[in-house]
């Protein structure tokens, strides 16, 4: 029992991974970014099969990034900064409409990046919530302020239905496997600035290169 307790997945590992993303000169390492996302997908899958369509899309985007890293130009994909430079300089990104590069690294990572903004908003709501607050409401409010702006009606509808199945706050905190609700709140307080930093560094980079609207 002790062994399985120890091996039980904790959401804290995910945030530790995001912390490892940022290099000394404030670049974002793709291996760690992707590893952080893997953990999030794992957590999402533990919430139930209704989230399968979301987890599946995230997993396929993670795979695209892993394939770039393992490919012949893998070294160019070491950080988000080096990837953006490489893909833009070599015209490997469809900037205005989908054409030759429907799965460019820049485009794929932008999808995950937008989802990271949702995560940031959601975790902040969780952190400042009280016992009777509903996770489904916190989740959909965060979604409506972020990802929903980029999603068509059908996806918004399906997401809304999935959110309704989220467990209540107490159970949700238990699934996070960090400890008591107080410990979860404390952990969120430490983790959020890390997620925010990764989000902001990426946002600034994409904004500087004017690639926040890659189709």
Provide the binding-site residues for ligand 1PZ, judged by CB under 6 A.
40, 43-44, 53-54, 57-58, 111, 114-115, 118-119, 139, 143, 147, 155, 159, 166
Least Å distance, CB 198 to ligand 1PZ, is 14
Cα separation, 78 vs 66, whole angstroms: 11
Cα separation, 27 vs 172, whole angstroms: 33
Least Å distance, CB 128 to ligand 1PZ, is 17
Q: Give the nearer residue to ligand 1PZ in terms of CB position, either 78 or 148.
A: 148
Number of Cβ atoms within 10 Å of the Cβ of 101: 16
Give the residue closest to ligand 1PZ by C-beta. 57
Q: Give the nearer residue to ligand 1PZ in terms of CB position, either 115 or 194.
A: 115
Report the Cα 136 to chain-centroid distance in Å. Answer: 18
What are 50's two structure tokens? 């209704």
For 40, phi and psi rounded to 5 degrees? -65, -40
Least Å distance, CB 36 to ligand 1PZ, is 10
Q: Give the nearer residue to ligand 1PZ in terms of CB position, either 147 or 211.
A: 147
Q: Give the nearer residue to ligand 1PZ in terms of CB position, either 31 or 57.
A: 57
Least Å distance, CB 202 to ligand 1PZ, is 14
Q: Taking the alpha carbons of 137, 46, 178, 59 in that order, is the dihedral positive or negative?
A: negative
Least Å distance, CB 126 to ligand 1PZ, is 9
Q: Give the nearer residue to ligand 1PZ in terms of CB position, either 165 or 210.
A: 165
Q: Give the nearer residue to ligand 1PZ in terms of CB position, either 20 or 59.
A: 59
Least Å distance, CB 193 to ligand 1PZ, is 17
CB contact at 8 A, 48 and 81 = no
Cα separation, 17 vs 33, whole angstroms: 7
Please count the residues of the chain: 215
What are 166's two structure tokens? 């989220």
| Angle at 115 (CA atoms; ends 36, 170), nearest 5 degrees | 75
Torsion angle defined by CA atoms of residues 201, 202, 207 and 211, in that order, rounded to the nearest 10 degrees: 160
């Amino acid at each position: 029992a002790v062994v399985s307790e120890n091996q039980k997945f904790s959401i804290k590992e995910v945030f530790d991974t995001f912390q490892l993303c940022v290099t000394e000169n404030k670049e974002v390492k793709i291996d760690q970014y992707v590893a952080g996302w893997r953990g999030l997908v794992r957590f999402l899958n533990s919430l139930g099969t209704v989230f399968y369509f979301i987890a599946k899309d995230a997993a396929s985007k993670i795979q695209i990034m892993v394939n770039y890293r393992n490919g012949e130009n893998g070294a160019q994909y070491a950080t988000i900064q080096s990837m953006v430079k490489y893909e833009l300089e070599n015209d490997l990104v469809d900037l205005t409409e989908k054409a030759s590069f429907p799965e460019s690294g820049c485009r794929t990572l932008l999808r995950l990046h937008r989802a990271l903004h949702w995560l940031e908003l959601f975790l902040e709501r969780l952190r400042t919530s009280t016992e009777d607050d509903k996770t489904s409401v916190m989740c959909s409010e965060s979604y409506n302020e972020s990802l929903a702006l980029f999603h068509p009606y059908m996806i918004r509808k399906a997401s809304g239905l999935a959110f309704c199945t989220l467990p209540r706050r107490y159970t949700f905190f238990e699934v996070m496997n960090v400890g008591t609700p107080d410990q979860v709140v404390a952990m969120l307080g430490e983790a959020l600035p890390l997620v925010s930093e990764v989000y902001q560094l990426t946002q600034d980079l994409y904004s500087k290169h004017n690639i926040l609207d890659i189709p």
